[in-house]
Structure 1
Amino acid sequence: MLRRNLPVRLSAALRSTRVSFSKPLTINALNQFNRNVSTRATVSRPATTRVMTAAILTSISLSYLYATKLNALEPEVKGDQVCQAIVDNDIKLLKKLIEDPNFTPNCYHRYGWTPLQTAVIQDNIEMAKILLEAGADPNLEDHYYPKSHEEANARQGDFSSELLPYRDYRKFTALHYACIIQNPEMVALLLDHMADPTARTSQGLTPREYLYYVERFTGEKNMKIESALRAKERSYPSDKAAHDEEMRRAQKQKEKEYRLKHPIEEALKARIVGQLGPIHAVASAIRRKQNGWHDEDHPLVFLFCGSSGVGKTELVKALATHLHGKNIDKGFIRIDMSEFQHKHDVSRFIGSPPGYVLSDLLNKKGFEEGGQLTEKLKDCPNAIVLLDEVEKAHPDVLTIMLQLFDEGRITDGKGTTVECKDAIFVMTSNLAQHQIADEAELLRLEATTDHDSQSTGMNSEDAKQARVAAEEVKPDSKDGDITLSRRFIDRVIYPILYDHFGRDEFLGRINEVLFFLPFDQKELKEITSRELLRWAEKAKKRHNITLTWSPEVVDVLVEGYNIRYGARSIKYEVERKVVNHVAKLNENDEVTEGGRVHVTVEENEAGRRIIVTVPDSGGDKKPSGWFGKR
């Protein structure tokens, strides 16, 4: 492509001469360099020497070109591919790369420049527009610094052959390169996309200041570019603030539209069986926070109470997955509070102070250990924090959490304050689990009794008393879901919580206390079906064995439910009565790859029992163990 402002003689001399430039381009430096090149070319020397020199230079050039072709055949990183498509003016390839789901317009060439900078220095406005529309940042800085001849050669071929290959181009932005090519349309395009006219290179030059060096070198003045840069320098702060606000509103509207299409309740219900009360309460609180209807000075704090295995931890995991997606590794923080049962465990929670040495049995690393909570909150201040089994923590740890819940910040052992007002804290507890479970079972029994009396036409005094008791302790339920009454919560549950934590201020900082109830018969069947389906998928994926079952199997497995252990009891029941039998059949080669196993129920005088049959034994190849991956 034509570079009208950079002499071809200079670029040719630079490509064949190894010269290092560490200062900005000046007239004196250029004149001295040109004189040196001319002197070397005209000095008298024997013909044989000149021929040998020419042969050596030709050999080096051919070797370089050959190596370049070989390198072109090797797989390159995405940044190199995008830059090469721009240099080749291959707009079809560029659009194809942009359509890649993993494409990012702000990638870098391996030697430090961006695709947008390449499009600008190539004076390709069409490609520059495509990259800017794809989200390219015009203010990214060039990281190129000549460290080897290989990098200098790559600069000539992969970026621009008209620039000084050995010069320091660190911190050059796309706007600096637009000034080099002196294209007013390119400058205007970048300024319209909020290119910073005050950005400075490693030599401390803004685009307008660097334009003076270019004008002195080319002998041309471009008042249109200079006027545009000068005007933008004055208006850039206000323009940038307005642009950021517009982008913030657009992003907020985009997130709102996504939430309308994907309600948080549906995402939670897809993973959690039952527990409609806690799901709707959590979803409502999150929705208020997402739409700005919350107290921004305090984080959201929940306390989940209920028996083991009823979905408390699973609900927190589902919430973290929905809110953080791919960043769940940082966005979900789980801390087992049973590990902080002693007074000195506070130092592990927030970090030990400088010079404080823990016992070798407690801290293998010695001293100044970072806190398990504070260090993770520094990486992700808006994380979902699960404090599991909070009732087992030492009172001094709970004291630390008072500041955390009240002010949305926590000070670690080194005195550094961590702001976490956007975080969501969820504590789980098994306190009052027996009272909650017993009350839920009583409510379901009363609801069933009331329904039976109405359906059979009974009008006895016992039925009336049952209905009165049910109305007294059971508020309006949603979608048939049983909920605890406010009276029961105030008279039974809260006294247990107050008695254990021993302080009103701690419970007073909790936004909502949510209660997880034992599963009813319908929910247990759904849990059982999900567990069987999970093992069927494993059987197919690991061993290519098809697992099927009759509907009666679910009813028999549900009978193994233990209200004290929740869904875990169903999981263990499926493993004992189904998975163990299938694994044994697989171990004895009675069913192999391509086979099918069917689970049914057999009734006899002793009752119903589950049996496993093999309608199709499959092939002869033996799998590598039921519980191991193939």
Structure 2
Amino acid sequence: MSGGRRSVCILRSLRRTARLSAVALRRAVPGHEGGSEERDTARRVLLGVGTLGVALIAADHVFNEKRFFKAAQMGNIQEIRRQIDAAKANQDRRNRKGSDEGVVDYRHPLGWTALMVAAANDQPDAVEELLRLGAKPDLQEKYAGATAAAGPAGMHPLEALQRREEEFCSSMNARASFLGWTALHYAALADSAGAARALLEGGADPTARDHAGRRALQYARDASPTRDLLTQHARRWEEAAAAAAAEERRRFPLEQRLRRHIVGQRAAIETVAAAVRRKENGWADDDHPLVFLFLGSSGIGKTELAKQLARYMHRDDPAAFIRLDMSEYQEKHEVAKLIGAPPGYVGHEEGGQLTRALSRRADAVVLFDEVDKAHPDVLTVLLQLFDEGRLTDGKGKLIECKNAIFVMTSNLAADEIAQHGLGLRREADARAARRARPALAPDAPDTAAPPAPSAPPAHLAAPPAAPPATDDDELVEISRHFKDNVVRPILKRHFGRDEFLGRINEIVYFLPFSRQELLTLVNMELSRWAEKAKAKHSVDLQWEGGVLGALADGYDVHYGARSIKHEVERRVVNQIALAAERGALGRGCGVLLTARAGRLSLAVRRPHAADYTPLDLAAL
């Protein structure tokens, strides 16, 4: 029944009630005679009737959650419109408080929307109407099964189970998790070609994945119009996405992206970018995944390069970066933790950490951190993975992952690489000094000394987007002789098998930082603390150029950028924290760092003061 017809029926009922009340009033007070008590009784009767009528009319124009979702379930378009109009008229705060979803996207307490209900129950007309009214086609389901959904909603699991069956769809398993599903997933499972077509024409993404990493197409029935429709639109989306990605790569190459986030390591970045470019443009072996081994000291940028590669390849999708700490796989039996326990063992149903993640995103970037610490049996599993691009989990399910990129990091030969890299840096500095010195007369003695690196500006408000590239970076490359005669024997002695090393596409070497790169790292670390001091304590932190060189002297080649981080904390943050604790530094103050003969000092400027005052922490 429409809202207008219901209002007419209510008004007719009120008229009949009023006539009956008037007759009863005349009979109770004939000839309008009687005392004040009878007249008061009559007034109360009429007042009650009027109040009841107003309440009934008001109730008909208040948003009703159950009616709204039942209308979507039954395809009652008029009721859908009436409930949405009522919600807008009453400014339904329950829906919009703390959420950017509109009235039409009001969520059921257990997590679904009306658009999902309509799609799951094969109601294409209701789907079209909800989309016309502004429903978002790609909102994701929050229902993760009756037990998981009942707690946040304040229900008993049995109540959640009952409401899911009654208010969503009785033909779908209410005990299962539908986390991350979109309305298109439900249309595919319900084999509703009409609902799927309406959603796709309304802008739904056929490549969207649920929490398990599956697209709507994977839930469609074989040889059905719904499957054909989803396949056709998915192909169009993939082609458009590939064209957009190719254009973005042309305008914003991978090297440029990586240099914005990683200091130095020019040779490593170019090696990785070249291999990825081959894969992206179809000039790689399609039967094998891409495999890297990153070698170098701790804190040199190996893990960060893998993270940024995943962000570039998959547009910041968190599921597309899988990180496994291989120090957790040092025992033989922990192979089961990687691929899943075999049938009959504890944890068989849970699957393995790697296989679960790859089943969601078979094209992910997978990082095996500190792979040299893993048990040899774990390396045997990885050998199969790298060689065939496939993996069989504990349940016997085959996972194809030829499009994945595997990155291993290791500290093997780190000392040898660091010492060799320092020697290459010295040679590069000497070459740069010879190019930079002024031309001398033929008989003039060669007395020019390498110039000291120039100090950067006194203070930068934010870290530079990318450290400047110099010609010297290109000259600092590991020689083939060093790779074959120093590094490879160490790798072979540890891994014990040539076939494992043979499946690695590129061994990437990370070298110690140059002096200019160290100054950039110190500046970035100080800028990070300056932002934190401003946000948390309203303290303005600045520094002179000599501070960067003094802190860069604390660099330890074995700990990389972490040594710079610790040096800043020890020599700068500790002093600032002590000054604040002793009352010499408060909110609104300014702090200036200065360096004299390698020693750092603090000067404080009080609020509204013009000059900085040197601070003697020992005297506080």
Per the normalisation by structure 2, the TM-score is: 0.62
Shift in Å at residue 571 of structure 1?
0.9
2:377 partner amino acid: D
Same amino acid, percent of matched pairs: 41
Equivalent of residue 611 in structure 1, options 601, 607, 618: 601
Shift in Å at residue 291 of structure 1?
3.6
Give 1:257-272 correspondences, 5 Å limit: 257-272=247-262
CA contact (8 A) 1:109 1:115 kept: no
* Residue 352, structure 1, aligned to residue 353, structure 2: no
Give the whole-Å Cα distance in 1 for the aligned partners of 2:498 and 2:324: 24
Q: 2:352: which partner in 1?
A: 371
Q: Cα 1:12–1:250, aligned 2, differ >3 Å: closer, same or farther?
A: farther
Give the whole-Å Cα distance in 1 for the aligned partners of 2:363 and 2:126: 42
CA contact (8 A) 1:597 1:616 kept: no
Q: 1:519: which partner in 2?
A: 513
Give 1:55-454 correspondences, 5 Å limit: 63=55, 65-67=57-59, 69-71=61-63, 88=85, 110=108, 113-114=114-115, 193=201, 242-328=232-318, 330-356=319-345, 370-453=351-434
1:351 partner amino acid: G
1:543 partner amino acid: H
Per the normalisation by structure 1, the TM-score is: 0.61
Shift in Å at residue 608 of structure 1?
2.7
Q: Cα 1:544–1:441, aligned 2, differ >3 Å: closer, same or farther?
A: same
CA contact (8 A) 1:105 1:115 kept: no
Give the whole-Å Cα distance in 2 for the aligned partners of 1:194 and 1:544: 48
Give the whole-Å Cα distance in 1 for the aligned partners of 2:338 and 2:309: 24
Give the whole-Å Cα distance in 1 for the aligned partners of 2:409 and 2:550: 31
Shift in Å at residue 423 of structure 1?
2.1
2:606 partner amino acid: D
**SS of residue matched to 1:405:** helix
State the number of aligned residues.
Answer: 465
Give the whole-Å Cα distance in 1 for the aligned partners of 2:62 and 2:167: 23
Shift in Å at residue 615 of structure 1?
1.7
Q: 1:624: which partner in 2?
A: none
* Residue 546, structure 1, aligned to residue 540, structure 2: yes
CA contact (8 A) 1:590 1:617 kept: no
For residues 242-294 of structure 1, give each alpha carbon's deviation from its aligned partner in whole angstroms, at most 9, with x where no partner exists.
54433332222122233334433222212110011121222233333334443
Give the whole-Å Cα distance in 2 for the aligned partners of 1:167 and 1:561: 61
Q: 1:31: which partner in 2?
A: none
Shift in Å at residue 84 of structure 1?
5.5
CA contact (8 A) 1:528 1:557 kept: yes
CA contact (8 A) 2:294 2:410 kept: yes
Q: Cα 1:56–1:586, aligned 2, differ >3 Å: closer, same or farther?
A: same
Q: Which runs of 5+ in 2 are unaligned?
A: 14-22, 25-46, 73-79, 89-94, 140-165, 173-182, 185-193, 204-222, 447-469, 610-620
CA contact (8 A) 2:368 2:408 kept: yes
**SS of residue matched to 2:603:** strand
Q: Cα 1:438–1:105, aligned 2, differ >3 Å: closer, same or farther?
A: farther
Q: Cα 1:117–1:416, aligned 2, differ >3 Å: closer, same or farther?
A: closer
**SS of residue matched to 1:373:** helix
CA contact (8 A) 1:350 1:411 kept: yes
Q: 2:16: which partner in 1?
A: none
CA contact (8 A) 1:108 1:115 kept: no
CA contact (8 A) 2:63 2:83 kept: no
Equivalent of residue 593 in structure 1, options 583, 587, 602: 587
**SS of residue matched to 1:114:** helix
Q: Cα 1:107–1:512, aligned 2, differ >3 Å: closer, same or farther?
A: farther
**SS of residue matched to 1:613:** strand
Q: Which runs of 5+ in 1 are unaligned?
A: 17-46, 49-54, 92-96, 138-164, 175-185, 196-232, 358-365, 464-475, 620-630
Task: Please tell me the root mean square deviation across aligned C-alpha atoms, in Å.
Answer: 5.1
Shift in Å at residue 421 of structure 1?
2.2
Shift in Å at residue 483 of structure 1?
0.9
CA contact (8 A) 2:117 2:168 kept: no
CA contact (8 A) 1:106 1:115 kept: no
1:378 partner amino acid: S
1:345 partner amino acid: E
Equivalent of residue 556 in structure 1, options 550, 554, 561: 550
CA contact (8 A) 1:306 1:430 kept: yes
Q: 2:42: which partner in 1?
A: none
For residues 350-389 of structure 1, give each alpha carbon's deviation from its aligned partner in whole angstroms, at most 9, with x where no partner exists.
22223336xxxxxxxx776632222222233222211111
Equivalent of residue 482 in structure 1, options 476, 484, 495: 476
Shift in Å at residue 166 of structure 1?
11
Shift in Å at residue 487 of structure 1?
2.3
Shift in Å at residue 597 of structure 1?
0.8
Equivalent of residue 504 in structure 1, options 495, 498, 501: 498
